[in-house]
Amino acid sequence: MHTDFLDLIPSPCYVLEEAKLEHNLKILDQVQKQARVKILVALKGFAFWRSFDLVGRYLHGSTASGIYEARLGYETLGGREAGKEVCVFSPAYKRQEILDLLPIATHLIFNSFTQWQTFKPLIDSHNAQNPSQEIQVGLRLNPLYSEVTPEIYNPCAPRSRLGITPSEFQKGVQEYGLEGISGLHFHTHCEQNSDALQRTLPHILKHFSPYLSQMQWLNLGGGHHITRHDYDLPLLISLLQDLRSHFPNLQEIFLEPGEAVGWQCGFLLAEVIDIIENQGKVAILDVSAAAHMPDCLEMPYRPSAMKLSHKTLEPDKGEHQAPFHYRLGGPTCLSGDVIGDYSFDTPLEIGDKILFEDMIHYTIVKNNTFNGVPLPSLGIINSDGDFNLLKTFDYYHYKERNG
């Protein structure tokens, strides 16, 4: 990467690298074609809609957590009129949300029989009046098996809110039947390889096989780390093909990754504002873990970084591997607003830039204005290598959200 070029980018700024996004999309498309599945982008993880012309060239639509994401998917990637899916799952819908979703959703997935029964009359009447815009209805399963850690990310953790357990499903079927349900959904993965899916499918089949054989579609959720360099694509493709041959009734199979779409396709540029001393050097940046990269605290994890000093880019060498050590933290009052410990071969100076890598998914969508810290701008490096600044935020974005 040219460093002159980086000087043009205002700090802080999230920068999407279009060529890397397209690389991911091509891998996802390979899965679509070889396994005959449809892949939808999960907006909860990747909603950088100014890149959706490109995303829409490869993927079949979007998957949403509720009305706002569904609207965004519909407006920017397209809905059924454009041949795209707008799939929605919410742990609990309000009536007004369902009313707003009816004209735009292609699939509505419910988290309980109660919610489905509550809104069935609305959906049935929408479908009767708009036969060409029929909404497919599905139920989310909890197969009581997930390998995800930590527990905060595990949809099958004890007392989870997410998905219908096998015993509740059985009760629901006895009480209401499945007439009107055309699909099932499960989401039990997070950053996982296809071997986790291989171990999960037997649990789905053990608990839900008789129901699955009555369905027209199955959605395998997200968390499939398909674009990661060590992902076992042939295994995924063969699992999907097996599923089809066991359940020839399934006309469509969906996957809905967010992270795999935005994986490793951009960075967050930050600036070193000050460096203080407290049992080692602590650099204070113009980006915050709490406001701009919350997964660093929640997951927790430490993003890789490069420093840009005097036009030279230098990768970080791990926590203590190189001679110059720094704790990198944000400008908020949260004591734990710490991104991590880093070391470099040369000293860090005030005014240097830091590029945090892989910062496009689950960052921008989670940004907040805690402490009134300015939101990073959004930019893109297009496939010709040119930088375009797409969006800047100012004081009024903060003010509007607080009164």
Ligand X SMILES: Cc1ncc(COP(=O)(O)O)c(C=O)c1O
The CA–CA distances, whole Å, from 237 to 63, 171, 202 equal 21, 34, 16
By CB under 6 A, residue 183 contacts ligand X? no
Other C-beta atoms closer than 10 Å to the C-beta of 319 total: 13
Total residues interacting with ligand X, rule: CB under 6 A: 15
H helix or E strand, kind and range, residue 240: helix 233-246
Q: Is 306 in the site for ligand X (CB under 6 A)?
A: no
Question: Which among 384, 391, 390, 389 is positioned nearest to 18, based on CA atoms?
Answer: 384
Tell me which residue has tokens 């789905």.
204
Residues 6+ apart with CB under 8 A from 377: 10, 12, 13, 14, 389, 390, 391, 392, 393
Q: Which is nearer to ligand X, 172 or 222 (CB)?
A: 222
Structure tokens, 17: 């690298």
Phi/psi of residue 213, nearest 5 degrees:
-70, -5
Comparing CB distances to ligand X, the nearer of 220 and 348 is 220
Does 44 interact with ligand X (rule: CB under 6 A)? yes
The answer to the question of residue 17 lying near ligand X (CB under 6 A) is no
Question: Residue 221, interface with ligand X (CB under 6 A)?
Answer: yes
CB of 258 to ligand X, least distance (A): 3
Per-residue buried b or exposed e for 7-46, using 16+ beta carbons within 10 Å of the residue's own CB: eebebbbbbbbbebbbebbebbeebbeebebbbbbbbbbb
**For ligand X, which is the closer residue by CB, 297 or 313?**
297
A 10 A CB-CB count for 299 gives 15
User: Is position 223 an interface residue for ligand X (rule: CB under 6 A)?
Assistant: yes
Q: Any contact of residue 52 with ligand X (CB under 6 A)?
A: no
- 18 or 259: CB nearest ligand X: 259
**294 is a contact residue toward ligand X (CB under 6 A):** no
Question: CA-CA distance, 139 to 115, in Å (whole number)?
Answer: 10
Task: CB nearer to ligand X: give 164 or 190.
Answer: 190
Which of 60, 187, 207, 292 touches ligand X (CB under 6 A)? 187
CB of 223 to ligand X, least distance (A): 4
For ligand X, what does the binding mask look like between residues 231 and 270, x meaning CB under 6 A? -------------------------xxxxx----------
Stretch that binds ligand X, among 221-229, 241-249, 327-335, 348-356 (CB under 6 A): 221-229
Q: Confirm or reject binding of residue 186 to ligand X (CB under 6 A).
A: no
Contact pick of 14, 74, 89, 342 for ligand X (by CB under 6 A): 89
Using CB positions, name the residue nearest to ligand X: 222
Q: What share of the chain is helix, strand, coil (3-state, %, to 5)?
A: 35, 25, 40
Work out how close the CB of 376 gets to ligand X at its nearest, in angstroms, rounded to a whole number.
Answer: 20
Q: Which residues bind ligand X (CB under 6 A)?
A: 42, 44-45, 63, 89, 187, 190, 221-223, 256-260
